[in-house]
């Protein structure tokens, strides 16, 4: 079984400032890792994913995440946020042999002007 912990439930940040959203996971098997974004009153959209290979993964809208196996983390970063990045962000994990996602509790990002 896997579990995901998103350490911050809310992150306020000023426009053009950097942001980091923390995600830690636990699993006894190899995993695939995902970040999804949910804009207000919408469904979830995939931001980026780590399946294998380079531990630094680049996604849409200028986001990137780094997979750290020793620390079992997959933190999401963006060097300069925009008002339009206001959303809730979910980290998720999937066992390499399975098909089910386990989600973290989500982090709400509020970008202030």
Partner 1 sequence: NAGVTQTPKFRVLKTGQSMTLLCAQDMNHEYMYWYRQDPGMGLRLIHYSVGEGTTAKGEVPDGYNVSRLKKQNFLLGLESAAPSQTSVYFCASSLIGAEGTQYFGPGTRLTVL
Interface residues with partner 1 (CB under 8 A) are: 4, 6, 9, 32, 34, 36, 42-46, 49, 51, 90, 94, 96, 99-101, 103-106
Minimum CB separation of residue 38 from partner 1 in Å reads 9
Q: Tell me the three state secondary structure of residue 98.
A: coil
Count the alpha carbons within 13 Å of 88 in the hemisphere toward its beta carbon: 13
Minimum CB separation of residue 36 from partner 1 in Å reads 8
Give Cβ neighbours of residue 47 (< 8 Å, ≥ 6 apart): 34, 35, 36, 37, 59, 60, 61, 63, 76, 89
Q: Which is nearer to partner 1, 34 or 74 (CB)?
A: 34
Q: Which is nearer to partner 1, 15 or 27 (CB)?
A: 27
């Amino acid at each position: 079984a896997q579990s995901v912990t998103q350490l911050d439930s809310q992150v306020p940040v000023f426009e053009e400032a950097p942001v980091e959203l923390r995600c830690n996971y636990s699993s006894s098997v190899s995993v695939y890792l995902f970040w999804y974004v949910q804009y207000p009153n919408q469904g979830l959209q995939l931001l980026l994913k780590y399946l294998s290979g380079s531990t630094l993964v680049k996604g849409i809208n200028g986001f990137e995440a780094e997979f750290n196996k020793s620390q079992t983390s997959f933190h999401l970063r963006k060097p300069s946020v925009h008002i339009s990045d206001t959303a809730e962000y979910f980290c998720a994990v999937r066992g390499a042999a399975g098909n089910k996602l386990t989600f973290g509790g989500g982090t709400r990002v509020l970008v202030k002007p």
